Amino acid sequence: MKKITLLYLFLFSALPMMAQRMQTGNLTVFSEDGTRFYLELNGERYNDEALTNVRVEELPNPYYSCKIVFENPKIASITKKTLTIEDVDGVLEDVTYRIKNKKGKRTLNFYSSIPAEQNMVRPRNTPVYVYGHPHDMYMDQHGVIVTQTETVTIDDSDAFGMNVNMGGFNVNMS
């Protein structure tokens, strides 16, 4: 009986540690002046179309390498080698960064953060992507969930046909 009690005690004490490991954070980047951009995290571009707001959810790590590439090639890209989405206690957050334009020079600055909630209500004016799935928009800027349907046709028939014509002699096989 003591062994079973100890086992249950150990399992219940380990649950909070496992739940903390499964926690993810979220990142929203927006352009203050409406300049359209592409968001790249750890070298992967998320949005195929230049946008003014981009959100990436289910980020498992506290730090990312971030690059902002603007639709207008005359505007210099912004690179942030250590973009953080955790608070001072190491808890992953729902973080917002903004692209600010000061005298023609654009910078990526921390704007706000709140505790990350699973299954939260998403902002309606921001397209949402899921980390690890670049180019696959989860929700568009109008709040519509985007689904992709893939149709695969497999021809597993064993059909075979052959026609032979030789000087008045015909053979047909199927």
Identify the domain containing residue 49 by its residue range: 23-148
**94-144, pLDDT tens digit by residue?**
999 999 999 889 999 999 999 988 777 777 788 899 999 988 888 877 677
List strands edge to edge, sheet with 105-115: 105-115, 93-102, 25-31, 53-59, 128-130, 137-139
Report how far apart the first and last C-alpha atoms of the chain are (Å, whole number).
72
The count of domains in the chain is: 1
Does residue 90 sit within a domain?
yes
CA distance 22 to 16: 10
Note the pTM of the prediction, 2 decimals: 0.70
Does residue 7 sit within a domain?
no
Does residue 164 sit within a domain?
no
Q: What is the mean pLDDT of residues 22-44?
A: 94
Does residue 172 sit within a domain?
no
Does residue 165 sit within a domain?
no
Q: What is the CATH number of the domain that holds 114?
A: 2.60.40
Does residue 2 sit within a domain?
no
Does residue 12 sit within a domain?
no
